[in-house]
A and B are shown apart, each in its own frame.
Chain A
Amino acid sequence: MNIDLFKKLFDEGCISETSFEKVKGTSRATLFSLHWEIKTLLYLGVMLLSSGLGILIYKNIDTIGHQVILLIIAAISAGCFFYCFKNKKPFSKDQVKSPNSFFDYILLLGCLSFLSFVGYLQFQYTVFGTNYGMATFIPMVGLFYIAYEFDHLGILAMGITNMAIWMGVSVTPKQLLLNSDFNSQTVIFTYLFLGLLLLAAGYLTTYFSFKKHFRFTYQHFGVHLSFISLLAGYFFYHDSGLSLLFMVVLFALAIYIYKDAMKHHSFYFLLLLVIYTYIAISSLVLRVIFSIKDDTSFTLSFMYFIASAIGIIFLLINLNKKIKAA
């Protein structure tokens, strides 16, 4: 730390003498933290190991005995969980800080190999028969249990993803945008149901103060899913009256998220809310403009975008101020 600066601050009377002494003390004994380096390496290690094992199994599925492979995966998974149960802190309804990052990533490795284990079991021996729902339901329950037991956000997110797979859809934002097709009624309603369910889960965690810090993860997936499926529903039923119903639900949801974001001072959800609502309003406005069927509708739509974007900028700046003051 800059001692001269703090000397000046001390002379100006901004900081007390004890604070100045403390500053001098800390600057003499600065520690160099390797925290992020190690975290990244752990992440890479788990990722490489689990993909390496995955490819190994995939390639040798016909050569080495199935039992051997199953045994290896089970051993890895069991070893990881054994380590985690041995080193875990007692369960609590509030946030439990994990012992260290190594613990987190070993837990992750355990879960990944557990999923491989179940998947392999199903593929080779069809333990769950043709009841594919069960084959995804059991890992899901397992993941949720582990997430709560060990207080691990990454595994909670994996559990949510697995829940979506169980319902037959995908949830991570990248995959939502890349390879979902919204051209079927069932997909839209499944997404909508899942999204609202996750939002409800997020609400309930705070309501019962049970693992309150999980709220963000639930809400993150819930907000994206619900808004995207509502918009998709609007476009799917574009020509029928049902489309307006989707819009009404969307605006109602927007109001709820707005209140919630204000309460929890969350800029992230505020931004998401503004973006999704802006898309919704714009599609409504454009629909009206293009229903005129005139040459001016192009010019009008351009002007609409310029004016509305300026408006949104002021809105964002104001909301930002408001959320800071709140």
Chain B
Amino acid sequence: MIIYNNVWLANLLVREEAQRARKVEAISIDEQKKIDDMYPVGFYTPNIFIRIGLFILTCIIVSFSIGLFMLMVSDFKINDTWGFFLFFGIITYLALEAMVRTSNHFKSGVDDALMWISGGLLLTTFILLQADANPDFPYSRISFFVFLLALFYALRFTDMLMTAISLLALIATIFFVWKDLFSWGMSTMPFLIMLASSGLYFLSKRSVGKQLTIYYTNCLYVVQIISLLVLYLAGNYYIVQSLSPANAGVYNSTEPQPVPFGFFFWLWTILVPFIYVTLGIKNKDTIILRTGLLLIAAAAFTFRNYYHVMPIEGGLSIVGIVLLSVCYGVIKYLKTPKYGFTYEDLEQDHFMDKIKVESLIVSETFSGTQPQSDSTRFGGGDFGGGGASGNF
């Protein structure tokens, strides 16, 4: 199923393992070189900057080629038929296969671009076909098609983003089908989605490290992250309330109906993020830990949406102080590693460090809005810049 050379993929894993051993200085540079010689990898995988460049350029080439073709055949009025999109979808897909097979492109930007373009074109073909046959076709067909298409790309090219898309499309399909299947579909929806996403989580958790899925490890991590997020969101009070049948068709109403079992959903909204964090620390699982940290913020926002305990600026300041003191405490506590935890950065040459991403983020979020007229020409990067731009 995988399009890539399996031997090379296996060798890549060996190399990664050697790289990790090299980082903790268990093996020497010479030994790493020796391993690299023994396990050759012929893929063309440039670094992230070149990848971005190649991605943009491939998009330029494809769009101008299609544009040129449209210019040439504009007299025949075929530009908006499904056949036109199908034709280009197939051509770009064949180009993708050819690039990967002959030039050994492996996550090089060229293959990413072709994958997205061909996928988009094939999806457009499907939608046009459906719309031609029956103008009000159910959404579940589209989401199911997206699921199949993205799953195919994910399996064939071991692509992480495609995995994410296919998983979300699967959840959407379950949602739409269940909604239309029963009259009580919407009332039971949170529980069904919870069941489905927790099932997916445990399935992917089990599958990591197995021989069959050895090349899909990163994809399985994506599945874990997304299913954890969906599992939480399925029981989040705000989402349950917005989707509950009592509020169907009522948008932006000032007094939304409370939902049945509201107590359960409130417990879920507040407790699940903390359960995630606890599990993450207990099992030393980065994925569930980081997801939990992210979701604590979501829980806080949900809570604030219903109960205005204090004005926002007081809340921000207090949360900020609490965060800073918690971090201070943790850093002090972990000055010498305890229980297998450390504060030190174990992977020093992270690529984010190389381009000094941290300093750029700081300058981007704290630089504030620019004074143009003289009357406000002071201060500059002071208050509220970060909060206003909503970048965090």
Write out the residue numbers on chain B whose beta carbons fall within 8 Å of the beta carbon of A57.
Answer: 383
Contact indicator B331/A119 (Cβ below 8 Å): no
Q: Does B14 sit at the interface, judged by CB under 8 A?
A: yes
Contact indicator A157/B360 (Cβ below 8 Å): yes
- Among candidates B53, B289, B324, B337, residue contacting A49 with C-beta atoms closer than 8 Å: B324
Which stretch, A225-233, A234-242, A266-274, touches the partner chain B? A266-274
User: Do most interface residues of chain A lie in helix, strand or loop, or is the interface mixed?
Assistant: helix
Write out the residue numbers on chain B whose beta carbons fall within 8 Å of the beta carbon of A160.
Answer: 363
- Among candidates A45, A271, A306, residue contacting B61 with C-beta atoms closer than 8 Å: A306
The CA of A275 and the CA of B276, in the complex, are separated in Å by 43
A274 to chain B, nearest CB (A): 7
Contact indicator A270/B49 (Cβ below 8 Å): yes
User: Do most interface residues of chain B lie in helix, strand or loop, or is the interface mixed?
Assistant: helix
- Among candidates B14, B60, B355, B365, residue contacting A309 with C-beta atoms closer than 8 Å: B60
- Among candidates A26, A51, A153, residue contacting B316 with C-beta atoms closer than 8 Å: A51
Contact indicator A165/B370 (Cβ below 8 Å): yes
The CA of A273 and the CA of B346, in the complex, are separated in Å by 33
Task: Please report the number of residue pairs spanning A and B whose Cβ atoms sit closer than 8 angstroms.
Answer: 312
Write out the residue numbers on chain A whose beta carbons fall within 8 Å of the beta carbon of B385.
Answer: 51
Q: Does A189 sit at the interface, judged by CB under 8 A?
A: no
Contact indicator B383/A275 (Cβ below 8 Å): no
Q: Does A205 sit at the interface, judged by CB under 8 A?
A: no
Contact indicator B313/A162 (Cβ below 8 Å): no
Known interface pairs A47-B392, A157-B360, A158-B363; A267-B49 also in contact (CB < 8 Å): yes
The CA of A157 and the CA of B67, in the complex, are separated in Å by 42
The digit string for A4-37, where 1 denotes a CB below 8 A from any CB of B, is 0110010010111001001101100111111111
Known interface pairs A34-B334, A102-B328, A172-B367; A313-B110 also in contact (CB < 8 Å): yes
Write out the residue numbers on chain B whose beta carbons fall within 8 Å of the beta carbon of A116.
Answer: 379, 382-383
The CA of A54 and the CA of B320, in the complex, are separated in Å by 13
Contact indicator B316/A52 (Cβ below 8 Å): yes
Contact indicator A30/B340 (Cβ below 8 Å): yes
Write out the residue numbers on chain B whose beta carbons fall within 8 Å of the beta carbon of A119.
Answer: 378-380, 382-383
Known interface pairs A5-B17, A119-B378; A35-B346 also in contact (CB < 8 Å): yes
- Among candidates B57, B317, B342, residue contacting A56 with C-beta atoms closer than 8 Å: B317
The CA of A42 and the CA of B293, in the complex, are separated in Å by 13
CB contacts under 8 Å to A, within B252-304, are 284, 289-290, 293
Q: Does B202 sit at the interface, judged by CB under 8 A?
A: no
Instruction: Considering the complex, give the chain B residue whose CB is closest to the CB of A8.
Output: B14
Contact indicator B345/A35 (Cβ below 8 Å): yes
Task: Kindly name the residue among A157, A170, A299, A303 whose own CB sees the greatest number of chain B CB atoms within 10 A.
Answer: A157
- Among candidates B14, B52, B381, residue contacting A161 with C-beta atoms closer than 8 Å: B381
Q: Does A115 sit at the interface, judged by CB under 8 A?
A: yes
The CA of A100 and the CA of B342, in the complex, are separated in Å by 13
Contact indicator B342/A34 (Cβ below 8 Å): yes
Contact indicator A14/B34 (Cβ below 8 Å): yes
The CA of A112 and the CA of B362, in the complex, are separated in Å by 11
Chain B residues with a Cβ closer than 8 Å to the other chain, count:
96
A235 to chain B, nearest CB (A): 20
Contact indicator B341/A32 (Cβ below 8 Å): yes
Instruction: Considering the complex, give the chain B residue whose CB is closest to the CB of A156.
Output: B359
Contact indicator B386/A15 (Cβ below 8 Å): no
Write out the residue numbers on chain B whose beta carbons fall within 8 Å of the beta carbon of A310.
Answer: 57, 61
Write out the residue numbers on chain A whose beta carbons fall within 8 Å of the beta carbon of B334.
Answer: 34
Write out the residue numbers on chain B whose beta carbons fall within 8 Å of the beta carbon of A15.
Answer: 27, 31, 34-35
Contact indicator A313/B362 (Cβ below 8 Å): no
Write out the residue numbers on chain A whose beta carbons fall within 8 Å of the beta carbon of B337.
Answer: 31
Write out the residue numbers on chain B whose beta carbons fall within 8 Å of the beta carbon of A216.
Answer: 355-356
Instruction: Considering the complex, give the chain A residue whose CB is closest to the CB of B321.
Output: A49
Contact indicator B320/A50 (Cβ below 8 Å): yes
Contact indicator B46/A157 (Cβ below 8 Å): no
B392 to chain A, nearest CB (A): 6
The CA of A52 and the CA of B319, in the complex, are separated in Å by 9
Which stretch, A131-139, A193-201, A243-251, A252-260, touches the partner chain B? A131-139
Q: Does A220 sit at the interface, judged by CB under 8 A?
A: yes
Which B residues fall within an 8 A CB radius of A?
Answer: 14, 17-18, 20-21, 24-28, 31, 34-35, 38, 44, 46-50, 52-54, 56-58, 60-61, 64-65, 67-68, 71-72, 110, 284, 289-290, 293, 312-324, 326-328, 330-331, 334, 337, 340-347, 355-356, 358-367, 370-372, 374, 377-388, 392
Further 8 A-B residue pairs, CB within 8 A, beyond A1-B21, A37-B290, A102-B327: A6-B21, A42-B324, A115-B379, A123-B378, A161-B380, A179-B370, A267-B50, A309-B57
14 intermolecular pairs with C-beta atoms under 8 Å apart: A38-B343, A41-B293, A44-B320, A48-B316, A50-B366, A55-B387, A56-B313, A102-B324, A119-B383, A136-B380, A158-B381, A298-B71, A317-B50, A320-B46
Across the A-B interface, the 8 shortest Cβ-Cβ residue pairs:
A54-B383, A119-B379, A49-B320, A52-B316, A45-B323, A52-B317, A157-B363, A51-B387
